[in-house]
Chains A and B, each alone.
Chain A
């Protein structure tokens, strides 16, 4: 079992049969996410290697991992919301053990992780793992 927030998304996805509804839901998750403060959209928080602009701001507090993020692309923004559900509130030591590929596959979103995709999900996960290492 992954984080409860992520399991809740998995449960919601079980009712979504076609890809259009899954994408619609991912986009909604992105829309519902609080925007990242403009002051945090600085080069240090920018994730390179993305076709759209992606920012990731990690916050490690008392051994617990959290991050905020944003993108100017709506699908990527939704995927950031999914990754937050997957990683946020984990003990830092457990971040590296998350099999993001397998977890996103449960949502049928694993194709966003392939090396050829330049949408930045893979680069975001790399950044998350580096920060928590």
Chain B
């Protein structure tokens, strides 16, 4: 039995008030709150176990290195990667995607080569590909979503042409909550020698992920959405792709030897990890993943599915709320607008006064907003600690906003 009250007690911030009201935190799509075990791990690391990693042979350096490298194994387990060497530490999904752009795509793509993207990608999975368009004449091909916000995998596959070299799609939309059949897309890409990049920023938080089953080449995740510290993250990068990659950032740790005339790089994955990393953040991420796996990803997914079902029922039951995205099996992410002239920021201001934290704006998805014909939406995004009574609090606050702006 999923004990959401016990889980809530593990997250100290959830018991605070905002504007004199109990906090109702529904901005998990932007960043999630941290359980006490993660906060304690950060404190312990700095208080008792801190030194640089991979450097000295002294006690603390070895201890820190052991803890830090242990997280690589944990992430491999979390994503079911074939080997921990297929996990590269990053500062988050944005760095992971830029690593793919600079490390793999730039040396491999020529002018006229194509990258296929869905229209609902986050800017982090768009802008690095625009770099290739601007600098190398690479062509971006866009695939639209259906009216309900779903992405038809066949339409993605139909967009593949003889010059298509990469396909980059999210496994879960940060705006619509749509879950994409990435396995079908990756299988088709693989048959055609197309490299697949699956943005796991949202999906990895809400469902069990198996990168071997998905069959992708790259799968970046971001720690701060996974109830871990900001500045932590990783990317699954298939060993064959790593062997083809050029280093991205240069500096310490990613080299074996440096002379005045030459550099000998370290072996992957460390070849792609320059400089002192986010040591403590990464250790904290490991603890966050332990926490999630302890609760069980299947259990988290089942709880959130129940919240999503209830939230959909309540939101769709109000005729002055327009929800964007009704794809079957969507996650607990709801973007909406209110009938009338109220701007998304008007609504979020009123919700904030009621202690309900949502995001308002474009959600880093300019092309999707253009596709939907909207300048902004409000987004309520749920996590493992949210409850049905928080859905009710959201609806109550929306009733007030509707009353004020109507």
Contacts and interface: CB of A to CB of B under 8 A. Distances in A.
Interface of A: 19-20, 23-24, 27, 51-53, 71-76, 119
Contacts of B400: 20
B118 to A, nearest CB: 26
Contact of B404 (A23, A51, A119): A23
B360 A51 contact: yes
B345 A52 contact: yes
Interface of B: 341-343, 345-346, 349-350, 353, 360-361, 375-376, 400, 404-405
Contacts of A52: 343, 345, 376
Nearest 3 A/B pairs, CB to CB? A73-B343, A74-B346, A73-B345
Contact of A23 (B345, B350, B375): B350
Contacts of B343: 52, 71-74, 76
Contacts of A75: 345-346, 349
Contacts of B349: 75, 119
Contacts of B353: 19-20, 23
Contact of A74 (B341, B361, B375): B341
Contacts of B346: 73-76
A130 to B, nearest CB: 24
A48 B349 CA distance: 20
Nearest to B361: A51
12 contacts: A20-B353, A24-B404, A51-B345, A51-B361, A72-B343, A73-B342, A73-B343, A73-B346, A74-B341, A74-B346, A75-B349, A119-B349
A53 B345 CA distance: 11
A72 B376 CA distance: 11
Contacts of A119: 345, 349
A76 B400 CA distance: 18
A70 to B, nearest CB: 12
A72 to B, nearest CB: 6
B360 A27 contact: no
